[in-house]
Chain A
Amino acid sequence: MTGYSAAALPPDWPGGFWVHFGVFTVILLVFILVMAMALIYFERRAQGRFQVRIGPNRTGPFGVLQPIADAIKALTKESITPAKGDKLVYWLAPVVAFVPVCMVFAVIPFQDGALLADLNIGILYVVAVSSVTTVGIFMAGWSSNNKYAVLGAMRSIAMAVSYEIPLGLAILGIVLVAGSLSLNEIVTSQNIPYFLLQPLGLLVFFLAASAEINRAPFDLLEAESEIVAGFHIEYSGMKFALFYLVEYCEALAISAIITTLYLSGWKGPWLPPVLWFLIKVVLVFFVFVWVRSTIPRLRVDQIMGFAWKGLLPLALINLFITGIQVVVWPGGLPWVLIFVNWAIMAVLILLWSRLFRLGGGRVEV
């Protein structure tokens, strides 16, 4: 039981630790599924607004039952397996993709101490577990025996390898400032929300995370206009719905992690902490929706270039500056650094947009 904080457990819970653990796991899973459906509805309505149309508004009041109707439809559809596909891997892939995303939520604090497992290596656990989803996506692409699916799977691996690094480096900045890997402690240590102290880190983290969860403009492993649906082109019925859920659960998880790391998690005045947490999660998710409905997609080599030439140096610089600041002010960073760090970010972004150009890329054949 190393790593658990015993204080989070109610001492008089009937049945002891495991019953408590089981009940809260079920609650958490239900929360994830309901929240994912809510986000699907939210995204479709918001995107409708962005695209001068209405969005789903027929099923239930304001169309709120649309995701449920979609789920029922997906469940009643025939699930087709490609004749020449690898059946076992094909069947396993949605599960392998879905389970790690749910596991991420075990360490996310909904309010002070309200988390399933207060691991002292919480954020490391998040990074480790969430990258397993890529394996599921690759399995799906490979086992489908479809060329578009293989292209999508290839792209997903290439992207995962590139973007894990700036993602990890951005997180390291937070860890340095907070002095802890536990997500709950990261929240409690945020007297000044870290998006003020770590603006560059937030930027790098946000972009790398959008690539990790395949949101636009990095959604090229399921780029509809290029490789149709990419890795899940052959999936139908509930297996497809699981991939669809993975997409939104990942977005939910990343929004929750950004909230926890940068937006001081459940902290906030007047309202109950859980509500603050949810509001911030939805706000972060809204930014994802916003970006998705306004920005074109990058090409595969441009995405790699962006990771290695753009995000990686920025993440390293951020880590370096943060390191110096933590050494100079060991008792916690003063609020004056907010202005310093935002100025540094502005200068660096200006510099990079001058130095670093995407484009070109023809290969002589």
Chain B
Amino acid sequence: MAIRTEPFVINMGPQHPSTHGVFRMRLTLDGEVIIDLEPIFGYLHRGIEKIVEGRPYAQIVPITDRLDYLASMTNNLAYVIAVEKLAGIKVPERAEYLRVIMSELQRLASHLIGVGSFLNDCGAYFTPFMYMYREREKIVDLFEMVCGQRLTYNYMRIGGVSHDVPDEFMAALDKFVKTMPAFIDEYDQLLAGNEILLARTKGVGILPKELAINSSASGPVLRGSGVKWDIRKADPYSVYNHLNFDIPTGTVGDCYDRYRVRMEEMRQSVRIIRQAMEQMPAGAVRADVPRLIRPPVGEAYGHIESPKGELGFYVVSDNSIAPYRLHIRPPTLINLTTLRDMIVGWKVADAVIIFGSIDICLGEVDR
């Protein structure tokens, strides 16, 4: 006689230690196996796209900090690039190099948290997480030196950056860049070849190449699936075409590949920062831009490779002091669209890992 069973619906989130914020997954389980998943988001919706319509262009920069609050620098950068494109503003070269340094430091900081919390989701009880936080703390100290803030930096300005770096910054950055590769090796020594980690992540949550492209995934999620696509190379912004770096890619598109891509990107970021430090010229850090700008009627789309993928700002101007419309293309929301395809068929414990390997930030998903 067969025992009658029925599926078991479980709400993972919005209050759950592994949903990285207020994300909610409605899982339908058969025992431990997930047979259906419905992602529900919007718990952190603040209507940012509407708020900005009533604000002058310059005052929107601090609002972009609140999108992906683990990568505020790159949010600033994407926004100012879009506005500069719209208003046709030329940025001084020193400011461009500072922007590159800051966004690569931000990539390091964001990946440290991303990989750390991913390994924590795998059950490595906080040890890798705390190790990675140690270096993130140093990056945040560097940012504090530059702009006085530790989370919402508000450093980029339309036409440059808010101010030049203080004298002690370059020495501190130099020290950080010299020590960082050894720390990245240390993280790899901690867990990279661990048999349990391999068993938990290899082949788990595969995102096939075609699906990744069709769903317009970007960032480490796309590159983990073996697609060599990086905005820094594909549509170079700032001074990335003067810098040498590689784009690491995965082969299978499983959680392990995404984790490895992030680790390798951290090494590349250190490499980029080192080159940018050598090439950085002296000079002004901010173009002569008025407080209130009135860009000509038109529209512009500025996009960058943020730590989590392609972050784009689409700005429409009606020649007033505030944008007529501003649309944000959040990388993590679009990466999340394939969540169901990745998770169904795996177990509850895998759902957490697969979700963690996408590395989302709810501030950006819900806006």
Query: Which A residues are closer than 8 A to B by beta carbons?
Result: 47, 50-53, 147-148, 151, 216-217, 219-220, 223-228, 292-302, 353, 357-365
Contact = CB atoms under 8 A, between A and B. Distances in A.
Contacts of A361: 204, 346-347, 350
B272 to A, nearest CB: 27
A323 to B, nearest CB: 31
Interface of B: 8, 10, 16-18, 30, 32-35, 119-127, 130-131, 134, 190-191, 194-200, 202-204, 344-350, 352
A362 B30 CA distance: 13
A213 to B, nearest CB: 15
B115 to A, nearest CB: 13
20 contacts: A51-B131, A147-B10, A216-B123, A225-B121, A225-B352, A226-B123, A226-B348, A226-B349, A292-B125, A296-B119, A296-B191, A296-B194, A296-B196, A297-B123, A297-B124, A299-B200, A300-B347, A300-B349, A359-B199, A365-B33
A292 B190 CA distance: 13
B128 to A, nearest CB: 9
B349 A223 contact: yes
A299 B353 CA distance: 11
Contacts of A227: 348
A365 B134 contact: no
B123 A217 contact: yes
A226 B10 CA distance: 12
Q: What is the predominant secondary structure among interface residues of chain B facing chain A?
A: mixed
A14 to B, nearest CB: 51
A293 B127 contact: yes
A220 B349 contact: yes
A223 B199 CA distance: 17
A51 B126 contact: yes
A220 B32 CA distance: 12
A362 B346 contact: yes
A297 B130 contact: no
A318 B323 CA distance: 75
B123 A223 contact: yes
Nearest to A224: B17
B344 A365 contact: yes
Nearest to A219: B123
B345 A359 contact: no
Contacts of A226: 18, 123, 348-349, 352
